[in-house]
């Protein structure tokens, strides 16, 4: 409305940016959370286990927007390693032609690898920001669920067969430990979208959530309503997908 | 042999109360995580209250105007100064007021509201339970920060609207916990016995079911406070909190964001650290309380 565009069209044009951010945020969360959770669970009671648990509990207490700003100040401004904000550099966004709306994909499709590199560099900090907030939760779940599974009889059997420890952990234990984790992750996805609001605000990311914020500032009520409903539908669709995924991970579940 | 009734004198009651407090203190001291959490949180509360008294902070947090502008931490200004020449340290000390007030009141409201709804829903069952559960699930599945923002937009900015929006966001948490606990005890023999004696439904719920849910609710509420602190900080960071001149962590961070490009890290870092420690304090209390309430957990997590 403020942008004199139908709200829905505006939302769809901004969705890819949010999805791109969410996917990479999720990737960071899974890497950070999963890996630390599995490591902690395989060495219960050791120093590394305690260190990881402190990291997990501590990460709950860190406000996501503040963590993003800290990355901006210290990594981007002070060290100058990565760009501060926005999905593309100024000169590139000028020449950039959007086809799909996904910045990385657009660059690849048009064979402009300099665009891809630029977009990737801009994506790192927001993805870490978004992923960090989820990592603690995911890691805690992974650790608890892995500990339970590692005690089970079939894991002992696998060990008795003489399989290597990592084979046991990854093939036999992790797969079963995934079941409760995926269940919780459905709910966690809503929190991911909530986190996207703050991440997009901090990093001036042109996604759905930053549209919500600018509509609120402009008191653009139809746009606010539309965006909120859009987000609700989006979350329901994702939850449906997760339910379907469930059958892949746990073949015992039938619908 | 007859049991003599213990005489209920004032001194006796006092002795009982003192021994109860003593027992509580011993339990807390044994649970080290809980102790650390309580120390952190009470430290924050004391400092924030003292910070409201003029003259406690080294400089006036709002009207001090004779320091250098945007200067990094120094001996005179431990946390530097902002663009209006105010001392960041003084602002950080007194800036927790809104966070603490909103977090505590909101959690109190949602705790009472959510628990009562949960008891009713769990006890009566039927269509009432189905309607309430559905409504709560709908609220719960929505991202809490977006829900809070939307509610604040509807209710307007300021302390009171913020309390109500944050409270509504957390009602489903308590609803779920108390409903689950009520369902657990509803079919037990002792409830059946009380019913057979002829107790009224209100009495059963309040005297015999509600106390069973208290443990679980207490454990949830400390974690909830940790989360509420972050939600409040996010709301005031986005500009829905106290109006500008008042010191407030979230808002000060938003203000510092403007000077981020020039490398003024102290404007953002220190208020943020306060939020982290306060939230961590509540989180640790939550861990400690859960361990107390459910000793089995200690070995698992």
For chain B, percent of residues with pLDDT exceeding 70:
79
Closest CA to A63 of B279, B259, B258: B279
Q: Which chain A residues have a beta carbon less than 8 Å from that of B95?
A: none
d(CA B141, CA A240) in angstroms, rounded, equals 13
Report which of B44, B94, B98 is spatially closest to residue B64, judged by C-alpha positions: B94
> Quick check: B233 pLDDT over 80?
yes
CB B33 within 8 A of CB B291: yes
Task: List Cβ neighbours of A156 (8 Å cut-off, separation of 6 or more).
Answer: none
Higher pLDDT, B130 or A204: B130
For residue B109, what pLDDT band results from cuts at 50, 70 and 90? very high
Q: Which residues of B touch A57 (CB under 8 A)?
A: 280, 283-284, 287
| Chain B residues with a Cβ under 8 Å from any Cβ in chain A | 140-146, 149-150, 153, 226-227, 230, 233-234, 237-238, 253, 256-257, 260-261, 263, 265, 268-269, 272, 275-277, 279-280, 283-284, 287, 300-301
Give the model's confidence band at B41: pLDDT under 50 very low, under 70 low, under 90 confident, else very high: confident
Average pLDDT of span B234-260: 77
Place B225 in a pLDDT band, splitting at 50, 70 and 90: confident
CB B266 within 8 A of CB B209: no
Q: Is the pLDDT of residue A66 over 60?
A: yes
Q: Write out pLDDT tens, residues B158-177.
A: 788 888 988 998 898 888 88
Asked if A231 lies within 8 A of B300 by C-beta distance, the reply is: no
Burial of B281 (0-12, 13-18, 19+ CB in 10 A): buried
pLDDT for position B193 = 82
Rounded mean pLDDT, A236-253: 74
pLDDT of residue B150: 83
Tell me the average pLDDT of chain A: 74
pLDDT at residue A128, rounded to an integer: 84
Q: Contact B143/A193, CB-based, under 8 Å? A: yes
Q: Under the phi-then-psi rule, with left for phi > 0, alpha for psi from -120 to 50, and beta for the rest, what region is B46? A: alpha
If you count residue pairs, one on A and one on B, with CB atoms under 8 Å apart, how many are there? 111
Look at residue B83 in the predicted model and tell me its pLDDT.
Answer: 67
For residues A202 and B42, give the distance between their C-alpha atoms in angstroms, rounded to a whole number: 31
Q: What average pLDDT does range B119-124 have in this prediction?
A: 85
Band (B108; pLDDT cuts 50, 70, 90): very high
How far B215 CA lies from chain A's nearest CA (Å)?
22
The CA distance from B99 to the nearest CA of chain A, in Å, is 13
Asked if A63 lies within 8 A of B153 by C-beta distance, the reply is no
Choose among B140, B265, B279: nearest Cβ to A73.
B265
Question: What pairs with residue B81 in β-bridges?
Answer: B87
Which chain B residues have a beta carbon less than 8 Å from that of A224?
150, 153
User: Residue A90 in 3-state DSSP?
Assistant: helix
**Dist. CA A207–CA A71, nearest whole Å:** 20
Output the average pLDDT for chain B: 78
Long-range contacts of A22-26 (CB under 8 A, 24+ apart): A22/A130, A22/A192, A22/A193, A22/A196, A24/A123, A24/A126, A24/A127, A24/A130, A24/A131, A25/A126, A25/A127, A25/A129, A25/A130, A25/A131, A25/A134, A25/A192, A25/A195, A25/A196, A25/A199, A26/A131, A26/A134, A26/A192
Predicted confidence band at A186 (pLDDT cuts at 50, 70, 90)? low
Which of A5-19, B35-49, B84-98, B182-196 is most confident?
B35-49
Closest listed residue to residue B68, CA positions, set B79, B55, B58, B80: B80
Nearest Cβ partner for A228 among B150, B265, B279: B150
- Helix ranges (H only) for B82-143 are 88-94, 97-124, 126-140
Query: Given an 8 Å threshold on Cβ–Cβ distance, is B149 in contact with A197?
Result: yes
> DSSP 3-state assignment of A98?
coil
E strand spans, B28-96: none
Average pLDDT over residues B36-58: 79
Q: Is the ipTM of this complex over 0.95?
A: no
Task: For residue A235, list chain B residues with Cβ-Cβ distance below 8 A.
Answer: 141-143
pLDDT value for B79: 66
- Report CB contact under 8 Å: B144, A191: yes
Structure confidence at residue B300 as a pLDDT band (50, 70, 90): very low
Residue in A61, A201, A212 nearest the CB of B276 = A61
Give CA–CA dist A223/A11, Å, rounded. Answer: 9
Subunit contact A216:B153, Cβ cutoff 8 A:
yes
Q: What confidence score (pLDDT) does residue B299 get?
A: 45
- pLDDT in the model for residue B301: 40
A206 vs A122: CA distance, rounded Å: 13
pLDDT band at residue A124, thresholds of 50, 70 and 90?
confident
Confidence (pTM): 0.79
Query: Is residue B266 within 8 Å of residue B72, measured between CB atoms?
Result: yes
In this complex, which of A60, A73, A213 lies closest to B283 when CB atoms are compared? A60
Instruction: Measure the CA–CA gap between B78 and B142, rounded to whole angstroms.
Output: 41
Angle B36-B40-B46 (CA atoms, 0-180°, nearest 5)?
Answer: 140
């Amino acid at each position: 409305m403020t942008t004199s565009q139908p709200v829905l069209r505006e939302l769809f044009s901004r969705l890819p940016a949010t999805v791109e951010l969410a996917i990479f945020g999720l990737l960071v969360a899974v890497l950070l959370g999963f890996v630390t959770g599995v490591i902690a669970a395989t060495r219960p009671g050791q120093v590394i286990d305690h260190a990881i648990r402190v990291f997990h509990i501590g990460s709950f207490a860190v406000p996501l927007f503040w963590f993003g700003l800290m990355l901006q100040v210290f990594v981007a401004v002070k060290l100058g390693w990565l760009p501060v904000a926005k999905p593309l550099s100024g000169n590139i966004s000028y020449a950039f032609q959007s086809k799909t709306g996904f910045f990385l994909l657009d660059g690849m499709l048009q064979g402009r690898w300099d665009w891809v590199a630029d977009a990737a560099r801009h994506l790192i900090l927001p993805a870490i920001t978004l992923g960090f907030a989820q990592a603690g939760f995911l890691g805690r779940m992974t650790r608890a669920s892995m500990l339970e599974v590692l005690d089970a009889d079939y894991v002992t059997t696998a060990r008795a067969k003489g399989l290597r420890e990592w084979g046991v952990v990854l093939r036999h234990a992790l797969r079963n430990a995934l079941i409760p984790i995926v269940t919780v992750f459905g709910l966690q996805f809503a929190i991911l979208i909530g986190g996207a609001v703050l991440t997009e605000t901090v990093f001036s990311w042109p996604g759905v959530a930053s549209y919500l914020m600018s509509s609120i500032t402009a008191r653009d009520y139809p746009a606010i309503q539309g965006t909120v409903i859009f987000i609700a539908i989006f979350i329901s669709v994702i939850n449906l997908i997760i339910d379907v995924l469930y059958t892949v991970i746990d073949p015992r579940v039938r619908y | 042999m007859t049991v003599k009734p213990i005489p209920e004198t004032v001194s006796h009651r006092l002795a009982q109360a003192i021994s109860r407090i003593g027992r509580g203190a011993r339990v807390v001291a044994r649970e080290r995580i809980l102790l650390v959490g309580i120390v952190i949180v009470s430290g924050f509360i004391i400092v924030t209250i003292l910070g409201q008294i003029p003259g406690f902070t080294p400089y006036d947090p709002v009207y001090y105007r004779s320091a250098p502008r945007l200067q990094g931490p120094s001996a005179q200004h431990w946390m530097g100064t902002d663009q209006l020449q105010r001392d960041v340290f003084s602002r950080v000390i007194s800036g927790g007021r809104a966070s603490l007030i909103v977090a505590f009141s909101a959690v109190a409201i949602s705790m009472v509201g959510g628990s009562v709804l949960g008891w009713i829903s769990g006890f009566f069952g039927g269509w009432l339970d189905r309607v309430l559960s559905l409504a709560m699930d709908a609220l719960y599945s929505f991202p809490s920060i977006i829900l809070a923002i939307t509610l604040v937009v509807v209710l307007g900015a300021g302390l009171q609207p913020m309390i109500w929006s944050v409270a509504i966001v957390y009602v489903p948490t308590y609803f779920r916990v108390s409903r689950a606990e009520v369902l657990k005890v509803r079919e037990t023999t002792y409830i059946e016995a009380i019913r057979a004696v002829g107790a009224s439904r209100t009495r059963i719920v309040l005297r015999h079911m509600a106390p069973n849910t208290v443990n679980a609710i207490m454990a949830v509420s400390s974690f909830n406070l940790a989360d509420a602190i972050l939600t409040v900080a996010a709301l005031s960071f986005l500009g829905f909190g106290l109006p500008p001149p008042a010191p407030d962590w979230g808002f000060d961070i938003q203000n510092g964001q403007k000077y981020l490009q020039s490398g003024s890290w102290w404007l953002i870092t220190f208020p943020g650290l306060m939020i982290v420690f306060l939230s961590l304090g509540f989180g640790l209390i939550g861990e400690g309380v859960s361990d107390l309430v459910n000793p089995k957990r200690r070995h698992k997590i």
